[in-house]
Structure 1
């Protein structure tokens, strides 16, 4: 009886520690925001600069990742892990958005730039009128990750 009780206590302690470790990992991911990422690590800055160097006609807030950002999150897709975040044009989040995925090793970056026509009536679906621009030649897996981020917005229909 004592052995079973001790085993149960150990199990509860270990599962509690595991949950705390998962919560700590989630908090660690949440500490990153796209608008702070380039100044936080030179490797992110170099990878982003490599991505946009051959792109034309991007607004400054996209090129510098200087918009309004939400906390980033780790996404694991079939064994490939990415740090994913959203950024939007300051004071115009409904019409101009950027979704970015950095590979976990910081070697690759991909993005989805979404523009909705300004002045679109509220009863019109933004998804039907938006233009989409992929940056960094993402494969289907990365496209799905970034597209899922966009579709998770409750105002996107």
Structure 2
């Protein structure tokens, strides 16, 4: 995927980098309307997606994939995190007065026990995240399982970024 296509996807997801409307698309100078062919819906959203692109789609785009690899490189995380796991459509959120893309993903066939939440700000190519492991939420956990929820911050999120990620976690459970 090209940078133009990523800008197009993010524009259609509503990040304000470019605006997409049913009647016309206004893209950054580096992008052309052919870069976005087939992505737009009548309502300006991505075709076939409720809100924005899924994590596995974003991971096909070099600029996002590179930032994601750097984000998780030093952390001891399960393999599903590296490949994207099971995700929901990305959402546009405001953090520190800027639009960010929030992606959420979980362990296939066991979402309650492991999940990752990632914030991406495409203008600065900044990415931060949070990995959560809750063994007590796994289907095979006993009723007397000690609660040892593990939270791993990815990147260097500031206080407002952490709040946004924790807010996403609150609505995941």
TM-score norm. by structure 1 comes to: 0.70
Does residue 31 of the first structure (1) align with residue 49 of the second (2)?
Answer: no
User: Does the 8 Å CA contact 2:75/2:154 hold for their aligned counterparts?
Assistant: no
Alignment-derived partner of residue 147 in structure 1: 166
Q: Which runs of 4+ in 1 moved over 4 A?
A: 121-124
Provide Cα deviations, 1:4-39, integer angstroms capped at 9, x if missing partner: xxxxxxxxxxxxxxxx88x945x3482301122111
Is 1:137 matched with 2:156?
yes
**Corresponding position of 2:103:** 85
Establish whether residue 108 from structure 1 lines up as the match of residue 126 from structure 2: yes
Larger C-alpha radius of gyration, 1 or 2? 1
Provide structure 2 residue ranges, at least 5 long, that are not aligned to the other structure: 1-20, 23-41
Residue equivalent to 1:16: none
Q: Deviations over 1:89-146 (max 9, x none)?
A: 111101011111111326111111011114445798x9x6421111011111111111
Q: How many residues align?
A: 128
User: Structure 2 CA distance, aligned partners of 1:24 and 1:121?
Assistant: 47
List runs of 5+ in structure 1 lacking aligned partners: 1-19
Kept in 1: contact 2:102–2:119 (CA 8 A): yes
CA RMSD, Structure 1 to Structure 2 (Å):
2.7
User: Structure 1 or 2: larger helix share?
Assistant: 1
CA change 1:84–1:106 in 2 (3 A) is farther
* Alpha-carbon contact 1:43-1:106 (below 8 Å) kept: no
Contact 1:99 1:111 in 2 (8 A): yes
